Amino acid sequence: MSQDAALTSPERPSPSTQRVAALGALAIELARAGRDLYGVFVRTLFYTVRGRYERGAVLRQMYLMGNQSLFFLTVVMGFIGMILVLQGGLQAERIVPDPTLIGSTYLELLIRDLAASIGALMLATRVGAGIAAEIGSMVVTEQVDALRMCAADPIDYLIKPRFIASVVMTTVLIIWSATIATLTGMGTAYLFFEISPNIFFDLRLVDFGDLSVGLVKCLAYGAAIPIVSGYCGLSTYGGSEGVGWATTRAVVNSSLAVIMLNFFISGAAFLLIGA
């Protein structure tokens, strides 16, 4: 955009004008990306309802996303549970005389936010990078153009199955990772702070609101990750360097999408349901 401005104006613009032009270019770029992303989302939803049916496509994606991420997610969430209880317990010991409250507070936080958000950040790197790398390679090797030549919308063929699979599998994997984090947290509390598991596993503070906020987050993240990374994959250009770029952008943008969605959903839940 700044080059365009330089071309149209007769003399070279001053540095401050150039800076404004760069800012404007950035804003236009962002707005365009947002519009394209919205277009992909709407078309994915449309095809989810009215698209063609391909046997096994969704199941294959579910296998790729679910089973292949299981080990990774189990390791990460296991360590997350241990870290949170360890750090939380060490700090709580300084302030609160009775450390048995760790369990109920930890479970509430885990169900309302941490399991979904940290799990989804991990899935954004694992699944998002996978989707962008796969679709990006297809774009670079002109397989997507071949689909378009056959009057087949790549969104229907490529993104829709990943979208459905991701919404289902993100929810399933996050419930699994919450279980793992609870178990490792319980073990850490027992080993380091001598809190017995039945005192730790205290669901008093978990109410319906926490559970529904957690599930809404699962669905939102599960929908956002394939859309954002599928969009990044489809907008690949260039050769192998382009695929690398697309994958990088997919990881960064889907992680950012998770963090922003977390902010908005948590904020809305706080304002609607209250403390």
Binding site for another protein (CB under 8 A): 72, 75-76, 79-80, 82-84, 86-87, 90-91, 94-95, 105, 108-109, 112-113, 117, 121-122, 125-126, 129-130, 132-134, 136-137, 140-141, 239-248, 251-252, 255-256, 259-260, 262-263, 266-267, 270, 275
> Which residues, 6+ apart, have CB-to-CB distance to 89 below 8 Å?
99, 102, 188, 189, 192, 193
Residue placing its CB nearer to another protein in the complex, 30 or 42: 30
Furthest C-alpha separation in the chain: 77
Structure tokens of 48?
């989810």
Cα–Cα distance, 156 to 144 (Å, whole number): 12
Residue among 129 and 164 whose Cβ is closer to another protein: 129
Look up residue 183 and give its two tokens: 């178990």
Residue 37: CB atoms within 10 Å: 19
The distance of closest approach from Cβ of residue 45 to another protein in the complex, given in angstroms and rounded to an integer, is 26
208 to 62, 109, 121: CA distances (angstroms): 28, 13, 24
Judge contact between 233 and 133, C-beta under 8 A: yes
Q: Which amino acid is at 95?
A: I
Residue number, 95 or 151, with CB nearest to another protein = 95
Minimum separation from the CB atom of position 196 to another protein (A): 21
Q: Given the complex with another protein, which of 9 and 248 has the nearer CB atom?
A: 248
| Least separation in angstroms between CB 50 and another protein | 31
C-beta of 264: minimal distance to another protein in Å? 10
CB of 269 to another protein, least distance (A): 8
CB of 9 to another protein, least distance (A): 28
Of the pair 47, 221, the CB lying nearest another protein is at 221
Q: Would you call 78 exposed, middle or buried from its count of C-beta atoms within 10 A (0-12, 13-18, 19+)?
A: middle
H, E, C per residue of 41-62: HHHHHHHHHHCCCCCCHHHHHH
Q: Shortest CA distance to 209 belongs to which of 119, 144, 118, 270?
A: 270
Rounded CA-CA distance 171/157 in Å is 23
Minimum CB distance to another protein smaller for 45 or for 206: 206
Q: How far is the CB of 267 from another protein (least distance, A)?
A: 6
**Judged by CB, which is closer to another protein: 112, or 162?**
112
